[in-house]
Amino acid sequence: MDIPAHAYRALLVSAPGKLSASLSALLSDGAFSKIATEVSATGARQQMTADAYDIVVINTPLPDEFGT
């Protein structure tokens, strides 16, 4: 009997730029079933309320919040 491997879900939060694209490419090796990106803390909170993630990577500062 084959047991399916766990597919992880990642949320990348970063201001628009090359980092999100680079991390998305790096994480898309097959271990992650979903890689979502957000550009603001507000959007990240909404995503985390709507979905469960195994890992959240936050690149600060964000345009709508810093240090709170």
Return d(Cα 10, Cα 55) in angstroms, integer: 5
| Residue 68 pLDDT exceeds 60 | no
User: What is the pLDDT at residue 1?
Assistant: 52
pLDDT in tens, 3-58: 556 789 999 999 888 888 888 888 887 788 899 999 999 999 999 999 999 999 99
Q: Which pair of tokens denotes residue 49? A: 């309320």
DSSP H/E element including 43: helix 41-50
- The structural domains of the chain, with segments of one domain joined by +, span 10-59
